[in-house]
With several copies, the nearest count.
Chain A
Amino acid sequence: MLLITAIIKPGAFEEVKDALRAAGVKGMTVSEVSGMGRQGGHVEVYRGAEYPIDLISKVRLEILAEDKEAKGIINVIVKTASTNSIGDGKVWTTPVHDVVRVRTGESGEAAI
């Protein structure tokens, strides 16, 4: 079992969500985060004064998936979320020990 974590642009979220669903993903957990990265580091003008831009709104997706499905899911995310511009985000995977469904107590693959 793997946990796929993706950081994407807020504007890409709706399309990614739809694409994932179309690809058979049944569940995920979404949160709003701020990202620092290459995209920041520039300067903006506000009321005539300049200030540096650091943090930019991002959306984080967490998707539990079986090992064999992970690759496909990552591909869908990368394809849909990429606008070819800096700040499109990252996707990473971490190993998962076990999953339990709260409602039933089922665990493992049956829990997803």
Chain B
Amino acid sequence: MAINTGDTAWMLVSTALVLLMTPGLALFYGGQVRARSALNMIMMSFVSMGVVGVIWVIYGYSMTFGKDLGSGLLGDPTEFIGLSALLSEDALFGGIPTILFAAFQAMFAVITVALISGAVADRMKFGAWVLFAGIWVTLVYFPIAHWVFDFDGGESDPGGWIANDLAAIDFAGGTAVHINAGVAALALVLVLGKRVGFGSKPFKPHNLTMVMLGAALLWFGWFGFNAGSAVGSNYLASVTFFNTIVATGAGMLAWLLVEKIRDGHSTTLGAASGIVAGLVAITPACSSVTPVGAMLVGAISSILSAYAIGLKYKFGYDDSLDVVGVHLVSGLAGSLLVGVFASSAAPAGVDGLLYGGGTDQLIKQAIACAAVIGYCFIVTFLLGKILDKTIGIRVKREEEIAGVDLVYHAESAYELGGVFKGGR
């Protein structure tokens, strides 16, 4: 098969779009914390672009897309070390150069790690985060990405068990990315503990215009994430693209409505949250539902998330920026709703419960979710505990109160006045 310049053009763009999601997330998260820890929040995302990017070149791509070591559980970490093996005009993945596919998938690993950081805002040691990022992506992300994203017939046949043996539908990463990040967030905050003031102080976002900008960049970049997962500029990409528009819009409206009814007013942060919930939910589902189905998936998941974010107060885990409430809950909802709203009119060609397809697909979806949740939770929790016992992952109380920006980065996000304030 020869290179297709149209497919390649779209995948170049998609990769750039997914790269942009991580800074977008940095702003989305950074705007939500207090001004005194905004930079630290942003840095957690940015640094994962470096750490995960470098690891990807060395052994990450191999662990994910290398020859399966058996039972679809893991790729061979040594197969493509350094990625020079992909440097050839003939190394094609479908109609695009394999090195481009490797670039596209690298961005998925980066953002998944970055997503977790929202839960640990204000109180995790920066060095510990860097270490966690590098180990977590290795122990948790690469294996799970292999399960979900490595289809048989790729460059290293056979691939992962969820994609091939189970044949669950996870078009762009509801399980490997969102459920995964959400569960990791939960496990990590259970180790880390609550912020000083959790439950009694409001912790309102310090810059909501930045949150909205971040949400917008996420939406924009998500077209690369979802429609780029078609690995070509074709009918499949077009449908997933369309669904990514309308599920998101519906998710936003649904969240605003919940707030209006429950609280009496619709908030900006609610709009941003609804957007992300819609995006998360449609990620696994965008290839298998109709536009109307997409709107329902987005809206239902968003409503579930809008209520789920309150659980942290009830159960007392401090998931600062609602990574669990949004990514885990909407990721789960979207993955399971594939089994309900999938319609054979959509490109995936599968009928869900509602369209007479029975519970078959729903069960597959549930198994995939359960596997990711179980594996991720156990490994992340253990990793967190080990790091905490060895290097310690939590900042000191005074540092947290003074603000991690000054303490860990010697900076303040803003110096807006004419009078410069320094020091700590």
Contact = CB atoms under 8 A, between A and B. Distances in A.
Interface of A: 10-11, 13-14, 30, 32, 34, 39-40, 42, 44-49, 51-57, 59
A42 B424 CA distance: 11
Contact of A59 (B267, B269, B419): B419
Given A11-B398, A51-B201, A44 B309 contact: no
Given A11-B398, A11-B401, A48 B263 contact: yes
Contact of A39 (B197, B418, B419, B423): B423
Contacts of B418: 10, 13, 32, 57, 59
Interface residue tally of chain B, by bracket?
20 to 34
Contacts of B417: 32
Kindly list the 3 A-B residue pairs having the minimum CB-CB distance in the complex, ordered from nearest: A53-B423, A51-B202, A10-B418
Contacts of A42: 423
Nearest to A34: B421
Interface in B388-405: 398, 401-402
Contacts of A44: 410, 422-423
Contacts of B270: 47
Contacts of B262: 45, 48
A55 B201 CA distance: 12
B313 interface: yes
Given A10-B419, A48-B259, A56-B424, 6 more contacts: A47-B263, A47-B309, A51-B202, A53-B423, A54-B422, A56-B423
Given A11-B402, A14-B197, A49 B313 contact: yes
B422 A55 contact: yes
B309 A55 contact: no
A72 to B, nearest CB: 24
A11 B204 CA distance: 17
Nearest to B262: A48
A57 B269 contact: no
20 contacts: A11-B401, A11-B402, A14-B201, A32-B418, A32-B419, A34-B419, A40-B423, A44-B410, A44-B423, A45-B262, A47-B259, A47-B267, A47-B309, A48-B259, A48-B307, A48-B310, A55-B419, A55-B421, A55-B422, A59-B418
B264 interface: yes
B228 to A, nearest CB: 32
A11 B423 CA distance: 14
B29 to A, nearest CB: 16
B249 to A, nearest CB: 20
B420 interface: yes
B155 to A, nearest CB: 44
Contacts of B423: 39-40, 42, 44, 53, 55-56
B8 to A, nearest CB: 40
A45 B263 contact: yes
Contacts of B200: 51-52
B265 to A, nearest CB: 9
B419 A46 contact: no
B309 A48 contact: yes
B410 A46 contact: yes
Contacts of A46: 202, 204, 263, 267, 410-411
Contacts of A48: 259, 262-263, 306-307, 309-310
